[in-house]
Amino acid sequence: MKHWIKDWIFPILEGLILFFIINFFFSIIRVSGISMYPTLQNREFVIMSKRVPIHRDDVIVFNAYGVDKNNPTVRKGTKYTKRIIGLPGDKIEYTNNGNLYINGKYTSQNYISRSQRTSGTLTLLLPEAKGVKIGANKTFTVPKNCYFVLGDNRKVSNDSRYYGFVPKNKILGRVYTFPWQEKIKM
């Protein structure tokens, strides 16, 4: 009987404890759609780290329910994957040539093409969200405890330009690719 407990029960308990510890810190998420292309592919699996600080240019997952009120298909548990452009208190300006200035400092956005920086970002398909102003001589400030997020495939991305800022409490975690996949560009 003692050997049976040692050989079967302890390894199962160790496995369950390890599973719950890993699940507490990480989740596997499947990307749905092309709004983060070319950084992330449709139907690609990524790792979401739940307990890490969030920085500008991080790719994040957030709960879109209550954030994207324009999309009638958003339900409880709907998750969006986007890149953080603006942190709380940041002053954001996009010029007509696609340059991004954060707090008056030029930011390169080398993770997207020139076309995505210009026409992709500046050509809006829907009205701008309240508080968001894109284009020359227009600036806006990201509210306290909120983030300004955009998809890397700006031409098709449904993002903060349309539904506004993402509250901090809606952010679920930061995205990482698996080691054998190409690294997320920053």
Q: Which residues participate in catalysis according to the annotation?
A: 35, 82
Give the SS3 label for residue 59: strand
Determine how many CB atoms are found less than 10 A away from the CB of residue 26.
15
* Strand locations in the chain (E): 26-30, 45-49, 59-63, 79-86, 91-94, 100-102, 105-107, 139-141, 146-150, 166-167, 171-176
Residues 6 or more apart in contact with residue 185 via CB below 8 angstroms: 39, 110, 111
**Can you read off the two tokens belonging to residue 142?**
């990201």
